[in-house]
Chain A
Amino acid sequence: MKSREQEYREIFMAEALEYYDAMSRHISELEKDPTDEQALNELFRVMHNLKANGRAMGYADIGEVAHGMETIFGLIRSKERTFSGSLVPVMFSGIDTLGRMIRAVGDGEETADASVLLANLERLVQGEEPILEDDEQSATDEDATRKLELSDLVYIQIKKLDHLLNLVGELIIDRDRILTLSQEIGNPALQSTAAHLFRITDDLQYSVMDARLVNVGSLFNKFPRVVRDVAVAERKDVELVIVGQDIQIDRNILQIITDALLHLVRNAIGHGLETPDVRRQAGKPAQGHLTLSAQTERDDVLIQVTDDGRGIDVESVRKKAVERGLVTAEAARNLDAGAVRAFLFEPGFSMAKEVTDISGRGVGLDVVKLAIDSLGGQLRVESVLGQGTTFSLVLPTSIAVKGALLFELASRSYAIPLMHTDSVVSLWPDEMHVVGGVLMARILNENIPVINLHDLLHSAEDGLLAAASKSDLMGRQDIIIVNYNNRKLGLIVDRFLRQQDIVIKPMSKPLDQIDLFGGVTLLGSGQVCLVLDVPALTRLFLAKRP
């Protein structure tokens, strides 16, 4: 973790360099047109900020020079001085001095003595003539000695970063291949080079991922306006609280969840929060609360949209799910609240009784769900009737590389993203029971259906799975518990292999027709490894369970 002082220093430096660029630009504009008010105002503002920030950081010299400059630009603004004559070279030299001081601070060096400049600034404030040195009087000399400084910040198109990240992905695959080959060949020089290559590409990968990170605040800060507009249209009184703007996430992930977040916020105001009258009758404050928060959770980013509105009525969702034929009445009775709320994410499942201007445009939560799925993230909903609802989005920090669990099935390697993996267990057959044709395991007080992955992958295109029987199970079973949309499912595999970061590549045709796989990855051995798509697998199981 960076210390706060270090963070302040970095921010100060980045901003000071920007200010220096801005003042260099604006003073040239002012030189061309001494009546350019906009340039003058900007110079004044930038000096003011640099003074305040410099002093706060304890850089007294920067503060003092910026203060003198600010005062003079202030006098020019109030028409007590003009940007002309001997004042001009002093101001230019002042900006050069500030530039040198900022760079010195950045390099951790002492700032040079500025007493001559400060004396001249003071003379100008007092209305006296400055005493110019030779090089200040002659503009040509000054130009010849001035160094050109470029900003330390570059703006870069996200497309270029995407390309860079793709290349890194390719590189990592080849690297793993070389590492495996070097072990097979057994040449020590080759092995040590391969090990070095491994470390460098790792570093490269994290550097590229780091370059793509932006603050969640860049999206969150657009919401006060949205909330205000929606609240007005829905006749709700809403207070928005934003938490965790500084959390960092891949820029493209933020882009992909933008619409989802917009939808959740509109929903929360439209359907979640009650009107002030209803709230008062329910004994709540008339003003509804909406919180948009971000926090890091292990390697992931957790974004939550919380309202203190009416909450989700689990019983009416249960009823509607049965009406829509998503589940039989009997099965519905046994589902816990979490599993019932998960129906909200089914395509076209809307609980809105009336269509409102803002939130009822026929787009359901399934669209939100799809966006999060496409990122390999998770969407959860928790709710207490009458008290409010929280939607949680668990998102990867970065897109390119995912942690995965590798396992073996019928002598082939498969991968399953860790994002959807709850736990791995090894169970003896007598620790499981057959209920309604489905194998069930009780893990941490929870009954979880278990299926042999081989059977699921090779099930007939139509028709249900055969009823499970414990007699097929020989010895201890390796089971991966996956979690999708609040539904847990145990997958029996032949053998766990290891946990590994993988680069997922889309599948080429015609394999991309098979939606049970989210892509492929190449292992160091050169072996192609299919990456299982947990959402698709879960849906398949639900459709085919006996």
Chain B
Amino acid sequence: MKNRILIVDDSFYMRTMLKNMLTDAGYEVVGEAANGQQALEMAAATKPDLITLDVILPDNTGLDVLKGIRQEQPDVKVVMCSAVGQEIIVNEALESGATAYIVKPFSEEKVLEIVGSALQVADSGSTED
């Protein structure tokens, strides 16, 4: 089974890049959300294996979205995306249950490496139940 990924970013440019990178690598991008509200709705509807989550979104912070998703879907892996300069939020996100983070601008290799290893975490976690 292909791993299924939801992309959350308010920039269409970033979503397009991420989607191309992930799709080329054989992942299935099940949706793209441009704000927190959409992200929560689409996460609930598409039940992805992994979510790439921008830390700064128009309606609320990525942190709020992370917490919202965590409540509903404790198993989903969340990779935070952030440009440099937002290390504080990233740290907080990791403490709130984010699996990993990517710093923008990112290279394709880096994205695939981080997403790949985040999904590994997901696999070992799900064998317990």
- Chain A residues engaging chain B, CB cutoff 8 angstroms: 4, 7-8, 11-12, 15, 42, 44-45, 48-49, 51-53, 55-56, 63, 67, 70-71, 74, 217, 221, 224-225, 227-228, 239-242, 245
Contact = CB atoms under 8 A, between A and B. Distances in A.
A4 B20 contact: yes
Contacts of B42: 224
Contacts of B83: 48, 51-52, 55, 67, 70
Given A12-B13, A53-B13, A71 B85 contact: yes
B86 interface: yes
21 contacts: A7-B16, A8-B13, A11-B13, A11-B16, A44-B56, A45-B56, A48-B85, A48-B86, A49-B11, A49-B56, A51-B83, A56-B14, A56-B104, A56-B106, A63-B105, A67-B83, A70-B83, A224-B46, A225-B41, A240-B46, A242-B30
A45 B10 CA distance: 9
Query: Which of B28, B44, B58, B83 has the most chain A CB atoms closer than 10 A to its own CB?
Result: B83
B44 A228 contact: yes
A53 B12 CA distance: 10
Interface residues of B, number: 29
B45 A56 contact: no
A8 B11 contact: no
Interface of B: 4, 10-14, 16-17, 20, 28, 30-32, 41-42, 44-47, 56-58, 83-86, 104-106
A224 B85 CA distance: 34
B14 A225 contact: no
Query: Which of A12, A49, A55 has the most chain B CB atoms closer than 10 A to its own CB?
Result: A49
Given A49-B11, A240-B30, 16 more contacts: A4-B20, A8-B16, A15-B12, A48-B56, A48-B86, A53-B14, A56-B106, A67-B83, A67-B85, A224-B41, A225-B41, A225-B45, A228-B45, A239-B46, A239-B47, A241-B4
A45 B11 CA distance: 10
Given A52-B104, A224-B46, A241-B28, A11 B12 contact: yes
Tell me what chain A mostly uses at the interface: helix, strand, loop, or mixed: helix
A73 to B, nearest CB: 11
B36 to A, nearest CB: 12
B45 A224 contact: yes
Contact of A49 (B14, B31, B41, B44): B14
Contacts of A12: 13
B17 A8 contact: yes
Contact of B13 (A15, A74, A228): A15
A56 B58 contact: no
Contacts of B13: 8, 11-12, 15, 53, 56
A53 B17 CA distance: 10
B46 A52 contact: no
A15 B31 CA distance: 20
B58 A45 contact: yes
Query: Which of A63, A71, A224 has the most chain B CB atoms closer than 10 A to its own CB?
Result: A224
Nearest to A45: B56
A55 B50 CA distance: 25
A94 to B, nearest CB: 16
